[in-house]
Structure 1
Amino acid sequence: MTTFSLEPLLVVEDSNADFRVLKRLLRQMDVQNPIYRCQTGDEALELMYQTGRYHTSEVAEAAPRPTIIMLDLNLPGTDGRAVLARLKQDEKFA
């Protein structure tokens, strides 16, 4: 029997209400992938680059890089457009 792990999804959303609605919709669509959440653009970049609170090996293993990112463009601080531009410039994420 072959076992596989589902790739995680990352939702970058500062609104708790919007995140709850999106998570409910994903579950209704029977999405089984783990869903990680970041509330700021800076936190999303830390997760993607495994820096800050995500720099230790235990945390990096527990929160592998997502294959799909759902990104709110209007975030406080580093907004979604800046996050997207930074990730697009890095060939690791191309």
Structure 2
Amino acid sequence: MEDFIPPKPPKSFRIVLDLLRSEKRLDTVLLEAIKAQNEDLNLREISRTKYKELFKEGKIQIKGQNATPSSSVAKGITYVDIFGYKNK
């Protein structure tokens, strides 16, 4: 069975989280993934204040739904789209 990969929305940056266990909070795991990636250096250098604003403004989505910092993340692969940034 093939895994379903949702289409990446335009003008967004996609982070793929591949977790070995479920996590209680998205914000911590996602920030680590953002800091570890090398595709968008502006996003990698994001301040904590701006990072929190992305959640507040609904610019971080999972499966087309607005994510909250306290969203739990299931074990396995999760596709997170961040709007206002795009892969170059």
Q: What TM-score do you get using the length of structure 2 for normalisation?
A: 0.29
Identify the structure with the greater helix proportion: 1
Q: What TM-score do you get using the length of structure 1 for normalisation?
A: 0.28
Rg larger in structure = 1
